Amino acid sequence: MVVRCTPVGRPGRPRSAADAAIPATTREALAEAGWPGIALGDAASRAGVAKTTLYRRWAGKNERVVDAVAELFDEPELPDRGSLAAGIEGVVLQFAALLSRPEARCGPMAVVAESTLDEALRERIRVSIVERQKHLVHTGRARAQHRGELPPEPEPQEAARTVGLIFDMVAGAVVHRTLVGGRPVDEEWIRDFTRILLSGLVTAATGP
């Protein structure tokens, strides 16, 4: 299942053809020229729209890149592979493959760096990218609980906290290894990572 969301903009305003084209052309520019290539005029020209169209939807370059990258991160899916371990391995493999793409290598790191001094941009990243990708963790945990691999967690606040921790561990590990460390996420690494993550999940679920 993949969640699709419209870019953060004016509430209730329908998504136009230009709204769909601009994130795509922004990703093209990121792939071709990296962060320096995200110029306002170039984005408008690529999308075949006026610059005023961009100004109506996005306050600036950073916000436009966040929304373009958010659509990119909507691509990973979580098919039921029969076990929690296989599910984790599958989504990690997809996430790593996504981060190997040129438009994903520079865009996320650049906007995260920009957000260190911009609280509104940081919140946009959290809402547009982080929060809407947690559905993968929700889905995986629900399947594992249904199969009896994990016990149910009836308390909503505790469940939300667990989901957040799992997401942070998976996303943080893959981003650090690929974008910070510049090392491959190969099958051996994925198996080791999954084994360690599952060990923590089972221990936390069953208690001391």
More confident residue, 1 or 61: 61
To the question of pTM greater than 0.85 for the whole model, the response is: no
54 in a structural domain = no
> CA 179 to CA 177: how far, in whole Å?
6
In a domain, 29, yes or no: no
pLDDT in tens, 134-148: 999 999 999 999 999
Q: Can you give the CATH number for the domain in which 142 is found?
A: 1.10.357.10
In a domain, 10, yes or no: no
How would residue 1 be classed by pLDDT, with cut points 50, 70 and 90? very low
- Judged against a pLDDT cut of 80, whether residue 165 lies above it is answered with yes
Report if residue 104 sits inside a domain: yes
Domain that holds residue 110: 70-206
- pLDDT value at 109 more than 90: no
pLDDT in tens, 55-97: 788 878 888 889 988 998 888 888 899 999 999 999 999 999 9
Tell me whether residue 22 is in a domain: no
Q: Is residue 183, in this structure, part of any structural domain at all?
A: yes
What pLDDT is recorded for position 64?
A: 86
Q: Per the structure, how many domains does the chain have?
A: 1
Q: Do the domain assignments include residue 45? A: no
* 141 assigned to some structural domain: yes
